[in-house]
């Protein structure tokens, strides 16, 4: 299974945001929505072997399971609406005990540390970072858990946590990519088994 963890630093943890302003009033929720789309969507189908976690302001984590997802569409507004509907059920999430408000979508009241720790038990954690080793010189595992940040850099605390759980730090090219673009490139590397150095 392929996994992606995207850390959102400014995203609201309540559903009180407008779907018409995901790039502003919703703390760059648009970035996270594009990441979810990039993680799952192929042309006319969804990747069933993918798990994607979105960490919201170090307070909540939404887990998307490709094998269970239903009714999600490849546009930002649809994904933002699903996230908003999920947050409407936040009172039912107690610690790591998840609530399941829609098929393939789970919400827990945990932040970055617990999410990374749980992911490290499920696969091989890889930090995608501009200072990492070129992907062409790295052997990607069969159970990768790619960790990305939103439009902001990883915080000092997140960097420390990643240094403890990540086995690799990989860069996908010579230039910085948007998080959703990095997900697409990571999929391409795994799909083609072409670990070509960019």
Residues contributing to the annotated binding site for S-adenosyl-L-methionine: 128
Residue 38 phi/psi, 5-degree rounding, is -65, -30
At 102 the three-state DSSP class reads strand
Report the DSSP beta bridge partners of residue 99. Answer: 107
Q: Are 78 and 41 in contact (CB under 8 A)?
A: no
Instruction: Give the chain's largest Cα–Cα span.
Output: 46
Per the annotation, binding residues are 128
* CA proximity to 7, closest of 169, 157, 184: 157
Please give the radius of gyration of the chain, using alpha carbons only, rounded to the nearest integer.
16
């Amino acid at each position: 299974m392929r996994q992606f963890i995207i850390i959102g630093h400014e995203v609201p943890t309540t559903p009180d945001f407008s779907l018409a302003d995901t790039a502003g009033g919703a703390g760059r929720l648009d970035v996270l929505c594009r990441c979810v789309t990039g993680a799952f969507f192929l042309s006319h189908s969804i990747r069933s072997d993918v798990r994607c976690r979105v960490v919201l302001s170090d307070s909540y984590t939404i887990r998307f399971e490709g094998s269970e997802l239903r009714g999600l569409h490849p546009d930002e507004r649809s994904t933002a609406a699903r996230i908003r509907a999920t947050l409407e059920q936040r009172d039912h999430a107690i610690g790591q005990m998840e609530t399941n408000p829609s098929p393939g979508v789970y919400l827990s009241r945990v932040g970055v540390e617990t999410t990374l720790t749980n992911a490290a038990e499920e696969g091989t954690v890889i930090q995608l970072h501009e200072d990492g080793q070129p992907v062409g010189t790295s052997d990607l595992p069969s159970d990768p858990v790619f960790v990305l940040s939103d439009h902001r850099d990883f915080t000092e605390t997140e960097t420390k946590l990643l240094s403890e759980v990540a086995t690799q730090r990989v860069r996908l090219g010579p230039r910085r990519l948007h998080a959703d673009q990095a997900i697409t490139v990571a999929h391409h590397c795994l799909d083609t088994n072409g670990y070509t150095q960019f």
